[in-house]
Structure 1
Amino acid sequence: MGRNCPISARCCMYYEYQHEQNLVVSTAEMELGFSTSTGMLTLLRRPNQANILNIGSIGMSVDVQLADGWVSETHFPRYLSHHGREVDGVTELTINIGLGFLRISDSLQITGTLIRRSVAVTNSGGNEARVHWVRLSWPYARVGSYSEARFEAPSNSFRPRLDIAAVSKLRRGTLPTQTIAPAIRRGRLFENAPDRGPGLLALHSTSESDNLLCWYWSKSQSAWPDIDGNDLALTVGHELEIAGWLAPDATLSGGTQYCMLVHGNWYDAMHAFHNTWPVLGVQTLPDVPDWVCAANIYETHVGLWGGFAKFSQELTRLRDLGFDTINLMPIWRYHNLSDQPWDMNWQASGSPYAIEDFEQLEPSLGTAEEFKVLVEQAHALGMRILCDLVVQGCSRTARYVQERPGWFCRDERGRLVSSHGWNDTYSFDWANPEVQDFYVDWTTRFAQTYQIDGWRVDAPHRKEPNWDRRLERMAASTSFGVLTIVERMRQALRQINPQAALLCELYGPLFPINHDFAYDYLAHLMFFHAGLGVLSPYELGEWLEDHFLALPKGAIRVCFTETHDTRDVNPIADAVRGSRLARLLLTGMVGCGFVPMLWTGQEVGQEAWLKQLFSIRANYPILRYGKQLFNVMPCDMPSVWSVLRVWHEERLAVVLNMGPHRRTATLSMPVDRMHMVEGDYHLFDLVRGQAVEYAGRNTWRRDDLLNLTLILEPFDSLLLHIRAGTPPQSEPAKAEPVAAAAPATTSRRRNR
């Protein structure tokens, strides 16, 4: 160990020699070390504790991808210099690294156990370079012993509480099996952050009270979470998209990666993470209309009904079922291959998202007057109309291609590129002020003319960079230029209609700050995998608890068993339409507090059940506002999933049998945690509309609920409203649903 170099009274630097000389920054809460040979991260630990980095291998902590690949594949990194200081209690450190002709500045701000990490890349050579990505990593990390170490990726497709032994076998660029990540889709291991997810990666131990959390946040650029194993530990980090042309002596910079050490168990760590969102300025909108949380959404394309006039005739039927919000797929003139109303044949009829002209309604659907009548009839029935807002781009044959060539993204050779891989469209540059002005002006005029109640913003996620050399801004800036569009558009929309709302098709933390509610495809996928037996009900509960904590507080989520996209995202969803499994899953989603949405035709044959479910949701606000407590009712049957809802003094238990067998299951209700006083209680099953009874008994003492036997039918759903006292005579009884029984074999869930 070398000489201490004080930065302040609370922080110092010193040199430490292990396998090589390291520069160590020591604060009261942690120590960080960097190689004085390569500039790479070598050390992260609490004072006087073991290092959790570079276990089994020495890894890269920063790398850059150029047009011809990652620079580290052809050049060794070299330490250049460093400087550090303390400002207002924040320790600031920058490590300058040489990598080929690039100079990389790896900058860290340390506050307690929270590290804010950013990067800048400077071209020290004589030629222009095309930069794509920067990788920021915490190399080969592990918390605790090999047998007790765990990996987490909340709000991704990974199972919760994964052994490091399994995950550390993964290598960068390879996809795992369903035993590790059951809901992988479209060849991507993770959701990009922060538009599709928080980018949260974490390591912890079953025995040691410490957790390492790493995530990403930016309103400028997107990033992909990244892992790489060496059989003993796991590199965790992010690939930041800082795409742009880099001239000699010019610099590109990216968003912020965060790393935090948290004392306590995993649940303490997730609550600590949840509490960082307000600190980062990430908060949900304060003026979300009340109707949003209570909505029951019906998604459709009016072409499936023959046009505006014919769909208007369906509104009363849908209203009577309980739907109060209609989401219309695009209704503007598109590249219609059949010249007929759209019939869901994407190949023969074309895509309604390949819009030819935003100023014209699709002729095959009817006239502007017929659309106005549709909206007016919906309003007269107390319903709302949301229209799809297609921001990705337009049809390749649209007039804008010739009239507004500067609106579009281009590749490095100046050619127009498709939007999000849609080969029938060209991609708009969302960072272009003219594009932004167009969308704000057009959506405002349309909302004013037709008095719609809002928009569903379609796919505003990270898109292809705009490599047009005529631009002075970064190529990657196009992706989150959509935020400016959405924020200005919502402000104008609310001036027209203070009760209007924006529904976002995406589900990351970037969008609750500018949308009123958002889709939740990941929850949809994980519910389905639990229903199909790929994910256990207990794992689903753990995943959902992490998922809600990974999102900003108050984010309102929409879930579903089908949409117009499930044919690609989750084809099995369409196959189980109308089944007991489909009903169970939607009941579970409503039981968790999701806003329900159905796709065209799902209601057929399910009318009575849907009407009942929506009525329950409307009459019991606890289903909309109550706190969710997952896996707090231990059960001796592994096929049983449950969530407890708590709202003021009200309690409701949601119990699902996710299996094909009739079961007798014993649950233990957490009466202490529910603050239930001594006395009599009865359980009212909202699904069946009657109090439960067994062998003539319909009342249980408080402690009897610690051992409660339910007789569950295959794919059965119970919504048990817990009420004090005995059931009134007017409440009908049901034979044999519930009985007091011997103690459950599963121990009670740990206190948290």
Structure 2
Amino acid sequence: MFEMTRLHGATVQHDGATCFSLWAPDADTVAVKLGDGSVHTMHHQASGWYSARVNCGPGTTYRFLINGQLSVPDPASRYQPQGVDGPSCVLDPDAFAWQFNEWKGRPWHETVIYELHPGACGGFAGIQAKLPELVDLGITAIELMPVNECPGKHNWGYDGVFPFAPQSSCGTPDDLRRLIDAAHGYGLMVFMDVVYNHFGPHGNYLGEYAKSFFRDDIHTPWGPAIDFRNSQVCDFFCENALMWVLDYRIDGLRLDAVHAISEMDFLTNLAKRVRSAVPDGRHVHLMLENENNQASLLAEGFDAQWNDDGHHALHVLLTGEHESYYQDFAADTTIKLARCLKEGFIYQGETTRKGASRGEPSGHLPPTAFILFLQNHDQIGNRAFGDRLITLADHRGVRAALGLVLLCPMIPMLFMGEEWGCEQPFLFFTDHNEELGRAVREGRRNEFSDFAAFADEMIRQRIPDPNSHSTFVTSVPDRAGGNQTLQDDWLAYYRSLLRLRHAHIVPRLPGTLSDGTTIPGEKAVSACWRLGDGSRLRIDLNLSENPVVVAAPDPGSKIIHDYRASLSKDPTILPGYSSRAILDQAT
């Protein structure tokens, strides 16, 4: 493995001492106070840096003392054993004994992602116990929702204030390494969801001694924007990305909501630094969530983007919902889905309901530059009651759509529990102090005041309290309380589709290009791709109740997937709520 240069935080030296570094340009003095009570002056360096070399090693707890008064944890702490308000702890990331040192990752086209919430899956050890099931399902990568230290014992994941420190309630940093090492032993990649666009509302003190970490002219939904014009700020987050890739051997990063980052140069620089830090032959993948649909970023070091456009079109077709962001997909939805399957993004510069232009042309990108899904943490957890898709849509429609999502050349992603038909909600949950918890609860309920179903204040009061422990418990997937036969049926369906993908689609994915789409009827699409080996894949999808007329399969082609299509004896008739995948292999 390549060695990592660590600028921020506590770094154990070869002789056993520790070097402490803090960027505090607004501080007059900085000291490091160890758990034994000793205080060590930190020396002022250029550009607002303070540093000290202290004879202490791994396991030492410490805090920084700003101007002799303000005692704060290390913003680059690698471990917060007592939570966000406790002291930081010195760690030696090189001390872990990895078992699978020959692991190089897997090529991107082999990726099938399973997104999960670490806390809801029993922490790092609980996820590790689940790995054999995921391998059997056909998953090749698990994506961890953010694990950075958040206030309290459980959190949705996006209130982190220590990007370098894994959530202590999920396990120790070495527990996380054991999970990653075990996953590699099973042939599974591990992706990390990282949040570089904001800090959580409690436990972040950077504004007290490094005001230039934030901008005062740009505000995000979470407060002042992070100022990526500042090189020290860029280094902080780039170092974080490199820590996950080098110290934890993470196989990929998913960057949350990069549309809230005003400096795109930061993103391209991060990608370059990650790419240059790993040895040749090792696969590391970088993914984006980006409402701006900036296709240009997918040609500058990033492998793929979550295709929210595709999800929204499918969701509207399956549920009929049309409020909030679904308004942009409520008209000509079938045409929009066809464009997604042919060109990637639906919005490629068109005007949205808000009157703004959104997106860039994406038809030149390969299908594998887009991650497609029917469910994820956002699309469930951002709903007032955390509704799963199968509680909103006809199950036949969901199964038909899965034939498209899991077999098309885009990269598929599942959300924890959907593979066995989980109907439990996945809610927005927190564990804040009473005052902050009250503010979060009221803010959460007010978010839905513009929805017709929640116009009445009394109805909004029924929205679960994010800070209630029961809200978290309700969000933990549990097969014990459901219909076992129905769960097994869903599981078998997902497993069969993923086996088809690995057998017929994955080996042919490199070099795949769209071969066009047609619209045989309302809520029905027929999409074709020319696979890398010259084979032709066609997927027919009908999400309406009514049959539609489609082209007959070409002579010599093979139907590899048939959900209800065989209900019609005529191969040109696609019944309602059905899907079919046809492979015409190259000769």
User: Residue by residue, what CA displacement relative to the aligned partner does 1:453-476 show, whole Å, maximum 9, x if unpaired?
Assistant: 12111111145xxxxxxxxxxxxx
- Post-superposition Cα deviations, 1:139-171, rounded to whole Å, max 9, x if no partner, equal xxxxxxxxxxxxxxxxxxxxxxxxxxxxxxxxx
Distance (whole Å) between structure 2 residues aligned to residue 724 and residue 358 of structure 1: 48
Structure 1 position 460 matched with structure 2 position 276: no
1:211-230 alignment runs, 5 A limit = none
Distance 1:489 1:300, change over 3 A: farther
1:106-135 superposed Cα distances (whole Å, 9 cap, x missing partner): xxxxxxxxxxxxxxxxxxxxxxxxxxxxxx
Structure 1 partner of 2:498: 614
For the 8 Å contact 2:550–2:573, the answer to whether it is kept is no
Confirm whether residue 687 of structure 1 aligns to residue 531 of structure 2: no
The answer on 1:537 being equivalent to 2:334 is yes
1:341 counterpart = 2:225 = no
Instruction: Report the equivalent of 2:311.
Output: 524
Map Cα deviations across residues 296-351 of structure 1 (whole Å, 9 max, x no partner): 00111110012111111011101110011111111121123xxx334x5xxxxxxx
Q: 1:559 maps to what in 2?
A: 372
Where do residues 26-65 of structure 1 align in structure 2 (5 Å cutoff)?
A: none
Q: 1:327 to 1:578 in 2, by over 3 A?
A: farther
Letter in 1 for 2:164: E
Report the equivalent of 1:45: none
Query: Does the CA-based 8 Å contact 1:330-1:390 persist in structure 2?
Result: yes
Q: Which residue is 1:401 aligned to?
A: 207
* Structure 1 residues 490 and 576, CA gap change in structure 2 (3 angstroms): farther
Aligned partner of residue 668 in structure 1, secondary structure: coil
1:722 offset after TM fit, Å? 3.7
Identity %: 21
Counterparts of 1:608 and 1:370, CA distance in 2: 31
- Measure, in 1, the Cα distance between the counterparts of 2:247 and 2:228: 25
Q: Is the 8 A contact 2:311 2:372 kept in 1?
A: yes
Shift of 1:372: 1.0
Q: 1:589 to 1:690 in 2, by over 3 A?
A: closer
The yes-or-no answer on 1:446 pairing with 2:446 is no
Alpha carbons of structure 1 residues 296 and 450: separation in structure 2 relative to 1, 3 Å: same
For the residues of structure 2 that align with 1:567 and 1:691, how far apart are their CA atoms? 29
Deviations 1:73-131 (A, max 9, x none): xxxxxxxxxxxxxxxxxxxxxxxxxxxxxxxxxxxxxxxxxxxxxxxxxxxxxxxxxxx
User: Residues 543, 330 of structure 1: CA spacing in aligned structure 2 closer, same or farther, 3 A cutoff?
Assistant: closer
What is the 5 A alignment of 1:375-390?
375-390=180-195
Q: Is the 8 A contact 1:326 1:385 kept in 2?
A: yes
**Contact 2:403 2:561 survives alignment (8 Å):** no
1:433 corresponds to: 231
Tell me, in whole angstroms, the C-alpha distance in 1 between the residues paired with 2:281 and 2:170. Answer: 26
What is the match of residue 329 of structure 1? 145
Deviation at 1:669, TM superposition (A): 5.4
Evaluate the alpha carbon distance shift between residue 431 and residue 670 of structure 1 in structure 2; reply closer, same or farther with a 3 A threshold.
Answer: farther
Q: What is aligned with 1:720?
A: 582
Structure whose residues are more often strand by fraction: 1
Could you say which residue in structure 2 is the equivalent of 1:160?
Answer: none
Q: What secondary structure sits across from 1:401 in the alignment? A: helix
The TM-score with structure 1 as length reference comes to 0.46
Give 1:224-263 correspondences, 5 Å limit. Answer: none
CA separation in 2, counterparts of 1:483 and 1:684? 43
Query: d(CA) in 2 for partners of 1:539 and 1:437?
Result: 40
- Distance in 2 between the 1:543 and 1:447 partners? 32
* 1:511-569 Cα distance to aligned partner (Å, 9 max, x none): 20221111111121122223446545355324643556921433611011111111366
Query: Which of 480, 504, 529 lines up with 2:264 in the alignment?
Result: 480
The equivalent of 1:237 in structure 2 is none
Task: For 2:542 and 2:304, locate their aligned partners in 1 and report how far apart those are by CA, in whole Å.
Answer: 29
Return the alpha-carbon distance in structure 2 between the equivalents of residues 341 and 324 of structure 1: 27
Higher RCO, 1 or 2 (CA under 8 Å, sep at least 6)?
2
Match of 1:36 in 2: none
Structure with greater Cα Rg: 1
1:640 Cα deviation from its structure 2 partner? 3.2
CA contact (8 A) 2:550 2:574 kept: no
Q: Which stretch has the larger CA shift, 373-382 or 434-443?
A: 434-443
1:421 partner letter: P
What code does the residue aligned with 1:651 have?
R
Q: In structure 2, what residue type is equivalent to 1:328?
A: L
SS at match of 1:719: strand
**1:527–1:540: 8 Å Cα contact kept in structure 2?**
yes
Q: Is the 8 A contact 2:313 2:334 kept in 1?
A: no
Contact 2:286 2:303 survives alignment (8 Å): yes
Q: Is the 8 A contact 2:344 2:370 kept in 1?
A: no
Displacement of 1:613 in angstroms is 1.2
Pick from 117, 127, 135: which aligns with 1:301? 117
CA pair 434-372 structure 1, distance change in 2 beyond 3 A: same
* Unpaired segments ≥5 residues, structure 2: 1-103, 321-329, 349-360, 421-486
Distance in 1 between residues matched to 2:123 and 2:579, nearest whole Å: 37
Secondary structure, aligned partner of 1:461: helix
CA distance in 1: counterparts of 2:109 and 2:280, whole angstroms: 21
Matching of residue 666 in structure 1 with residue 464 in structure 2: no
Q: Which amino acid aligns with 2:396?
A: R
Q: From 153, 159, 162, give the equivalent of 1:354.
A: 159
Letter in 1 for 2:551: S
SS at match of 1:619: helix
1:540–1:569 CA distance, 2 compared to 1 (3 A): farther
How do residues 705-744 of structure 1 correspond to structure 2 at under 5 angstroms?
709-722=571-584
Structure 1 residue 510, shift from structure 2 partner: 3.1
Aligned AA (1:553): L
| Distance change >3 Å, CA 639–CA 427, structure 1 → 2 | closer
Does residue 1:320 correspond to 2:136, yes or no? Answer: yes
Answer whether contact 2:537 2:583 (CA < 8 A) is retained: yes
Q: Secondary structure at the match of 2:254?
A: strand
Cα deviation, 1:370-421, whole Å, max 9, x if unaligned, reads 111100110000001111121112234313333422211114xxxxx75x30
Q: CA deviation at 1:610?
A: 1.2
CA deviations 1:612-632 (Å, max 9, x no partner) are 111111122356754323344
Q: Aligned residue for 1:363?
A: 168
Change (3 A) 1:689 1:655: closer
Could you tell me how far apart the structure 2 residues matched to 1:434 and 1:482 are? 12
1:656 is aligned to 2:541:
yes
- 1:645 has 2:529 as partner: yes
Counterpart CA distance in 1 for 2:148 and 2:336 is: 43
Change (3 A) 1:569 1:581: farther
Paired residue secondary structure (1:341): coil
1: CA distance, partners of 2:342 / 2:244 = 40
TM-score normalised by length of structure 2: 0.58
Other structure's SS at 2:161 match: strand
Q: Which residue of 2 aligns with 1:73?
A: none
1:422 paired with 2:222, answer: yes
- The residue type equivalent to 2:577 in the other structure is F
Residues 187-228 of structure 1: per-residue CA shift (max 9 Å, x gap): xxxxxxxxxxxxxxxxxxxxxxxxxxxxxxxxxxxxxxxxxx
1:480–1:667 distance in 2 versus 1, CA, 3 Å: closer
Change beyond 3 A, Cα 1:491–1:434: same
Contact 2:565 2:580 in 1 (8 A): no
Q: Return closer, same or farther for 1:556/1:479 CA change in 2, 3 Å cut-off.
A: same
CA distance in 2, matches of 1:543, 1:441: 35
Other-structure match for 1:627: 513
**Which digits, 9 at most, give the CA deviation of each residue in 1:213-268, with x for residues without a partner?**
xxxxxxxxxxxxxxxxxxxxxxxxxxxxxxxxxxxxxxxxxxxxxxxxxxxxxxxx
| Alignment root-mean-square deviation, CA | 3.4
